Structure 1
Amino acid sequence: MDRTLTDIPTAPTDRVYIVIPLFNDWEALSLLLEKMTKTVAPALRKRFHFLIVDDCSVTNYASLPTDTGYSLSIMRLWRNVGHQKAIALGLSYLADQPETHTTIVMDSDGEDQPEDIARLLEASAQKPGQIIFAHRTKRRESRLFRTFYLIYKSVFKLLTGKAITFGNFSVIPPNLLRKLAHVSDIWNNYPGGVIRSRLPYQSVPAERGARLAGTSKMNFVSLILHGLSAISVLMEATAVRILLFCVITAAVSTVVITVVILLRVTDQLIISQGAIYIVFSLFIVILQAFLISLLLVFIVLTYRTQSHFIPAKQYGDFVEQIEKVY
């Protein structure tokens, strides 16, 4: 595997790398690149170096525009690893180069609009030590999908204590790229990994665009899996919150059982059979809360002691080749 970009001609030092994960979306990618030629200023486009992370697609491109940026290369993976892992591999590859540069992560379907790149880069220039995300102000999916997405964000906030209002579209400054590539959590979920890494980040508003071609692969099941992967990144915070909930539930149940027993002993509870049901039900609740708490403790302890996948060190095992298009 070629681990360097030495075959790419010398470019301006203010180059911008754009990492685009892709799975069979070659038509959308071609339209996205064409859209860039119409919406991005030529002076900025000359700085673009595209790295397309081909997530082991079963199809290949027929043709791609060759005048969108300074260069375009395709990272071919040995196997399909999923959208988030493909991003981690692309970032790790760039972090392994002799020099790091400003890096943009965006999707291939066109929902991340090229005209927002300049705004993200401007925000990054004003705050050079922070990762800048595009905060979605408007989504174009169906009402049902938007409803479930809102539920996902609410559950994420409840379980982790963190608000997540952004996706993958972001700008990473050169001084943070190698640090981010050593964050194991971006292997499961890139935005969640940034949050957990405690690297500084901000977000700027950006409207989500429409898919340029094909159909979205994000359905109800995919959304649930995506949400679970994001929550799993912040597992320790989630476990603490669930543990506190179990403790509070057990404490309240114990108080209620005590009150019921006292009322029964003093003959102030009229329905004695109902009192038995209440005590038995709450005892089951206490037992379940104890077992859940015990399970969470073991999970967290296991998570802390096991070795984690570091994308920067192990990305090469997944890369078949780097194909230079222009």
Structure 2
Amino acid sequence: MPEKYIILIPQFNDWEALNLLIAKINTDVAGDILAHTSVLVVDDCSSRDRTEAFTPFGGTGIRVLRLYRNLGHQRAIAIGLSYIATELPCEKVIVMDADGEDAPSDINTLFAKSVQMPGTIIFAQRSKRQEGFVFQFFYQIYKSIFKLLTGKVITFGNFSVIPQRRLQNLVRVSEIWNNFPGGVIRSRIPYDGVPIERAKRLAGNSQMNFVSLILHGLSAISVLIDTTAVRILIFSILMSGFVIAVIVVILFLKLIGNTTPGWASTLSTTLLIVMMQSFLISLFLVFMVLQYRTQQHFIPAIHYRDFVESVETVA
């Protein structure tokens, strides 16, 4: 049967979990979807070779796209989407992780929502996570900082269904090269979400450490750096107004003689220096962002071929 749907799975040294995931796709995805579905695995230059054959797949086949170098999860997704948009005509693309934390059974839920909203990217919104308290604590901090700096709310990751029409738009959005969800938000392509619980990893250990998670969070914020820079400038202006008000109060107290000698001038000078530094730094950041917008950007749909080593049909 011809393929109508493609499941895009980026992976790095997660061959065991990937095999278990394919087995769950066979059993958990609705038959009418599975029969027209193929899998594209983007091997992000794994340091360990695959030693076992893939689990027999109930769909139309499995391809492995190998990269010349390790680029990271988000860029592997961008390359996979660009390859599909250029080489593999299909109706929808499902993006999911190889570790099994994106449950294959939830593909059916995402598809149902996608049928209702055919021109919209549908994300899995994480209603419940399986990670420990420390991770969830810092994750909540990250979401709060993201909203404060960008004015946007992010409640989803990579797990999504992308219709063909939006795929062609998306692979020309340079920001997905740094962060896929952030790039979708920045692109203004219509998107919606379905509340879905995150599943548990099927095998092995996560390749992401604490530093990697911080970098991932910062990359999402960097995608919206122009909005972030302006909000920082506005905050700096507001703080400058507050500092000026404090300095006025200090000078008033000095005039009526309620301050220790030297204290008012020292504090006023310090506050004034801090205010000027923060304002100039934030203003410089805004101009840097505006300058960046005039430069030619990396377009995944055009430049992805530079990183593709080979594409192999394995099942």
The amino acid of 2:280's aligned partner reads: L
Contact preservation (8 Å) 1:120, 1:132: yes
TM-score (norm 1): 0.93
> 1:6-43 deviations in whole A, cap 9, x for unaligned?
xxxx615xx11111000010000000011122222333
What's 2:138 paired with? 148
What's 1:42 paired with? 31
Deviation at 1:255, TM superposition (A): 2.1
Deviation at 1:98, TM superposition (A): 6.6
Aligned to 2:202, the other structure's residue is in SS state: coil
2:56 is aligned with 1:56 = no
The amino acid of 1:186's aligned partner reads: I
Aligned to 2:128, the other structure's residue is in SS state: coil
Contact preservation (8 Å) 1:134, 1:206: yes
Aligned match for 2:261, one of 272, 276, 289: 272
2:172 is aligned with 1:172 = no
Residues 219 and 197 from structure 1, CA distance in 2 versus in 1: closer, same or farther, beyond 3 angstroms? Answer: same
> Which structure 2 segments of 5+ residues have no match?
none
Residues 67 and 99 from structure 1, CA distance in 2 versus in 1: closer, same or farther, beyond 3 angstroms? Answer: closer
Deviation at 1:222, TM superposition (A): 1.3
> Which structure 1 segments of 5+ residues have no match?
1-9
What's 1:182 paired with? 172
| In 2, Cα distance between equivalents of 1:113 and 1:132 | 15
1:1-326 equivalences under 5 Å are 11=2, 15-61=4-50, 62-97=52-87, 99-264=89-254, 266-326=255-315
Percent sequence identity over matched residues?
A: 54
What's 1:3 paired with? none
| In 1, Cα distance between equivalents of 2:282 and 2:7 | 44
Deviation at 1:298, TM superposition (A): 2.6
The amino acid of 2:152's aligned partner reads: K
Aligned to 1:36, the other structure's residue is in SS state: helix
Contact preservation (8 Å) 2:5, 2:90: no
After superposing on structure 2, the runs of 4+ consecutive aligned residues of structure 1 that deviate more than 4 Å are none
| In 1, Cα distance between equivalents of 2:235 and 2:259 | 32
| In 1, Cα distance between equivalents of 2:109 and 2:132 | 27
What's 1:5 paired with? none
The amino acid of 1:188's aligned partner reads: N
Deviation at 1:100, TM superposition (A): 3.8
| In 1, Cα distance between equivalents of 2:144 and 2:259 | 42
Contact preservation (8 Å) 2:226, 2:286: no
| In 2, Cα distance between equivalents of 1:235 and 1:220 | 23
Deviation at 1:276, TM superposition (A): 2.2
TM-score (norm 2): 0.96
Deviation at 1:115, TM superposition (A): 0.3
Aligned to 1:259, the other structure's residue is in SS state: helix
Aligned residues: 314
Aligned to 1:182, the other structure's residue is in SS state: coil
